[in-house]
Structure 1
Amino acid sequence: MKIDEKLTQALPNLPRKLAVAARYVLDNPERIAVDSMRSVAQACGVAAPTMQRLAQHMGYEGYDGFRQDFQKLLMGRGFGARVDALRSTFQSDSLAKLVSHMTEAAQNNIAEVAAHLEPKEVAAFVAAVRRSGRTYVIGAGSMYWAAGMIEATGRLAVPDLVSLPAGTVAASERISTISSSDTVLALGIAPYCAQTIDAMQYARRASASVYAITDRPSSPLAPYADGLFLAPTASPHYFPSAIAVQLVAEILLAACAAASGDASRHRLRQLDEIRRSSGAYLDE
């Protein structure tokens, strides 16, 4: 049952203040998906803790999970619905409010990464990469650019890093020679790409080490990953934010570089000299 249906069923038996908040939520689901808890509380005339209590009454640990389900609901209606939500939320306000809300969402996503990223999981990924023959980065659809970024910057520290090019050939076919001595880093946020999950399944069958950067514990990438790095994507933007994805990727690459010691530093200097001498960089 969807969150709006659950809330409709619960409404007749809610305490008065929770009922006020619930009616606003049901009438304005797009505001719940894109606005902060404080903004929603002000809009419906209750205190911010009331919104927290409503979320907990509905079985959520906190308001973030409650809001994420409304974001899923909105995503299910297509990106047009998210654009409409942006228009209804910010149409009568200045761009300053849009900037403020998007910045706040980005800061919250980054804070979530800082709070929940486990150093031991990062260390396990680094160890897998260091013992790998090859490390494949798989990012299809909206994550294709991120895979390219990881390869372009990551090869400075991890020479056997390979991202898979876009095209009509399935990702699992491109990694057909993968073996137990290799590692996969898969990237996927909602809406998830089937070929990314297919490639992860193929890699698992080959006994490769498989890690994933994804947006939530319930992600369809999670069952096929030996290690999971969560990158929240909540944002007023009509498409899920990728800021936390990039942060996690940069942390993993920095950890790989730090672990490789003098060899990595020598390779970084060597590649930097090659790029500069080739004219790849503009003089500052």
Structure 2
Amino acid sequence: MEQSPLTDRILKGFEAMSSQLQAAARHVLDHPRDVALLSMREQARRAGVQPATMTRLAKHLGFEGFEEIRALHADVLRERDLGFAGKAGAQVTSQKQHGDKALAGEMLRSAASQIERLGQDRTLERIVAAAETLASARRVYSLGLRSSHPVAWHLHYVLTLLGERSILLDGIAGTGADGLATATGEDVLFVASVAPYTRLSVELAEHAAALGLRVVAVTDSAVAPLAQMAAQAVIVPTDTPSFFHTMTPAFLVAEILATLIAGKAEEGALEALRRMDGHLAALDTHLKPSQTRKRK
């Protein structure tokens, strides 16, 4: 780990910290690997401060407690030291030792725990604020690349059912970003990206913000690149027993946002839904119950 993921945030507010907080902050800056691996008490001892000072530093930086800082550094350490291939090796070893059923069960329990965490008041408030921002937009630009694509696409798809309010920035032949050419300050960019962050997602979000768009982000850390520039950021967990990060919490957030936006729909959006129902019926898009019974 070359440097702490909190380096910029710490340096920005370092001069305003007390001498004790500065000592704790200097330890985080100088020993990011220790932050990931050692207990808070041991880190406090090495920094020459009381354990409570480490907690105060965490709150000063906007976290609930020092454990969030430790977990953030641990996540970065795992990403840099292992990568997908290294994680796959760890998964295979565990799978051989405990069996497929145990791994499947562990993944399901992990997902259930993460979804439960999304129900905490702090996260719910962020989701509601994000929904309000999206609902107030003239147009929503949706962006999600690589594993984050289903998150952005789902929100985009639901918004298209409500009317012509959404543009998906995922064009063929690299033309996806061209949609921002007509964007204005009345619009919002919805963007999803989790570690390892896709460079283009971050760059397009920066460009959108420079154009005056509000950015609503779904990402995995309060200090993730998107969280730093977003007007609203919903933080989702991604850890999983699998070698590949889970997108289940992020996808669920997109579902919730779409539902909340639909609930704020005015008559124009409801009329759009009626037209869509007629369109789907005219094309006989979906199997009818009688047809599904015949296929059994």
TM over 0.5: yes
**Contact 1:175–1:199 (Cα < 8 Å) also in 2:** no
Separation (CA, whole Å) in 2 of partners of 1:145 and 1:155 = 15
Unpaired segments of 5 or more residues in structure 2?
5-30, 43-54, 59-63, 290-296
CA distance change for structure 1 residues 64 and 226 in 2, over 3 Å: closer, same or farther? closer
Aligned to 1:191: 196
Q: Among the aligned pairs, what percent are the same residue?
A: 19
Separation (CA, whole Å) in 2 of partners of 1:225 and 1:5 = 28
Aligned to 2:88: 83
With structure 2 as the length reference, what TM-score do the two structures score? 0.71
Q: How far apart are residue 5 of structure 1 and its match?
A: 4.2
Separation (CA, whole Å) in 2 of partners of 1:70 and 1:245 = 20
Aligned to 2:77: 73
Unpaired segments of 5 or more residues in structure 1?
15-55
**Contact 1:171–1:195 (Cα < 8 Å) also in 2:** no
**Contact 2:191–2:217 (Cα < 8 Å) also in 1:** yes
* Correspondent of 2:226 among 199, 221, 226: 221
Aligned to 1:27: none
Aligned to 1:205: 210
Please give the secondary structure, in 2, of the residue aligned with 1:91: helix
Q: How far apart are residue 261 of structure 1 and its match?
A: 4.2
* Correspondent of 2:282 among 274, 277, 283: 277
Please give the secondary structure, in 2, of the residue aligned with 1:260: coil
Aligned to 1:146: 151
Separation (CA, whole Å) in 2 of partners of 1:8 and 1:260 = 45
Please give the secondary structure, in 2, of the residue aligned with 1:186: strand
Please give the secondary structure, in 1, of the residue aligned with 2:233: strand
Please give the secondary structure, in 1, of the residue aligned with 2:225: coil
Separation (CA, whole Å) in 2 of partners of 1:91 and 1:73 = 25
Q: How far apart are residue 113 of structure 1 and its match?
A: 1.3
CA distance change for structure 1 residues 85 and 167 in 2, over 3 Å: closer, same or farther? farther
Q: Which moved more, 1:214-223 or 1:138-147?
A: 138-147
Separation (CA, whole Å) in 2 of partners of 1:246 and 1:227 = 17
1:117 partnered with 2:123? yes
Separation (CA, whole Å) in 2 of partners of 1:197 and 1:222 = 10
* Number of residue pairs matched by the alignment: 240
After superposition, the CA RMSD in angstroms is 3.0
Separation (CA, whole Å) in 1 of partners of 2:38 and 2:286 = 61
